Amino acid sequence: MAGSFVGKLISPFSRAARAERTARQASERAQLRQTARKAGVPSVSVRDLSLSFGSVSALEHLDLDVADGEFLVLLGPSGCGKSTLLNCIAGLIDVTDGQILINGWNVTWEQPKDRNIGMVFQSYALYPQMTVRRNLSFGLRSARVPADEIKKRIARTAEILQIEPLLDRKPSQLSGGQRQRVAIGRALVRDVDVFLFDEPLSNLDAKLRSELRVEIKRLHQKLGNTMVYVTHDQIEAMTLADRIAVMKSGRIQQLGAPHEIYSRPINRFVAGFIGSPQMNFLSGELESGPPPALRAGELRIPLDRYAFDERGAAGGHCVLGVRPESVAIGADAAARPFSREVEIEIVEPMGAERLRSGAGLAVRRGDRRPPVMASGTDVSPPGGSLPATARPARTG
């Protein structure tokens, strides 16, 4: 009888009971995920989210839906609120107002461990005294996942990330890129619904960043999990994202596919922030035409091939955005009906093309002329001048 009583006390904590409980929880999560997918419920929903620190507003009335399996990038300058929003989704910061839902489940006040998310931090956050294997298994061991299941998950993760030879090393014996792979692996072994990345590549050199961008993209294509990724690097955003949310001062300025944000920016901030080198801005007055045109001093640029969303009143002030690759220079510009001489001040060889910075395309304002940036293969040195103009079909 005593033995039976002890058995009842011990059985809920036995290896078999833990394995059964883990399998049941995984099944419940999978069922919830499938139900959400069939119903078309977003994987992550942020509804009217606000966050304040005293009188300082960090996030203001944000609404955002992330579809199941989508790779969403939060992009913006330092202090725009992108990492703060990610931390709110992760449960590391309590929100002031609004709701956060994961697969239709309101997790606004749930603990991070109960949100079924995996997070990869900027600073690897690896335990230096543990091997890679033990770093990967730490969260699973803390959750009392059975040893056989832990072994399977580590083997699968190590194969996906190609870190099998590193499993018995410690972090001090790894390169920066290898450490970041381990950090990603620690999130991957948990078999979660949503992966959150907080600028994971910012500590790496340019070559490693390029290599790991490809690996993260490949990982997403292979797994199909929902991923929310924070960065200030436009190249990362443009190459990784299904959609980009451009943020400024705690608000989302524009949400769309990379090509949409690049070619059709919604305002001047987005236009100037997206693109490297940044967009040229020419100020002038709008002439009604026909055809409609921008008048900047003696320069008149036809806009008959520009798709207006809303045309302003004739004579009103307007700003024309021109990407550097949309600036025609040299003989190409001279053959067009409108061009101006541009003084070439700086030439930056970039391999396949050369980037030129100069002045003179826009109207003179006092002693300062706005700079003009153009890209191309012309080998003209700095100090001279070239005809330059904007290609009408490629202005914004």
Whether 392 shows a pLDDT value over 80: the answer reads no
Rounded Cα distance between 253 and 266, Å, is: 8
Token pair of 53, please? Answer: 């620190």
Rounded Cα distance between 354 and 366, Å, is: 30
| The pairing of beta strand 340-349 with beta strand 385-390 | antiparallel
pLDDT exceeding 70 applies to what percent of the chain?
Answer: 81
Token pair of 394, please? Answer: 């490629």
Name the band, by pLDDT with cuts 50, 70 and 90, for residue 359.
low
Q: Model confidence over 151-204: pLDDT tens digits? A: 999 999 999 888 999 999 999 999 988 998 999 999 889 888 899 999 998 888
Q: Model confidence over 320-351: pLDDT tens digits? A: 888 887 787 777 777 777 777 777 777 777 77
Domain 277-394 in the same topology as domain 44-267: no
Which stretch of 29-33, 50-54, 109-113, 214-218 has the lowest confidence by average pLDDT? 29-33
Check residue 123 and give its pLDDT.
Answer: 84
Whether 26 shows a pLDDT value over 80: the answer reads no
Q: Model confidence over 275-304: pLDDT tens digits? A: 888 888 888 888 877 778 888 777 777 777
CB neighbour burial string for 124-148, b if at least 16 within 10 angstroms, e if fewer: bebeeeebbbebbbebbeeeebbee
Q: Which CATH number fits domain 44-267: 3.30.2130.10, 3.40.50.300, 3.20.20.10, 3.30.360.10?
A: 3.40.50.300
CB 236 within 8 A of CB 213: yes
3-class secondary structure, 197: strand
| DSSP assigned state of 368 | B
Q: Model confidence over 107-164: pLDDT tens digits? A: 999 999 888 899 998 888 899 999 999 999 998 888 888 899 999 999 999 998 889 9
Whether 366 shows a pLDDT value over 50: the answer reads no
Rounded Cα distance between 134 and 141, Å, is: 9
- The CATH code that applies to domain 277-394 is 2.40.50.140
Helix crossing, 206-223 with 147-161: angle to 10°? Answer: 120
Where do the structural domains in the chain lie, given as residue ranges?
44-267, 277-394
| CB contact set of 349 (below 8 Å; sequence gap of 6+) | none
Name the band, by pLDDT with cuts 50, 70 and 90, for residue 377.
low
Query: How big is the chain, counted in residues?
Result: 396
**What mean pLDDT, rounded, does the chain reach?**
83
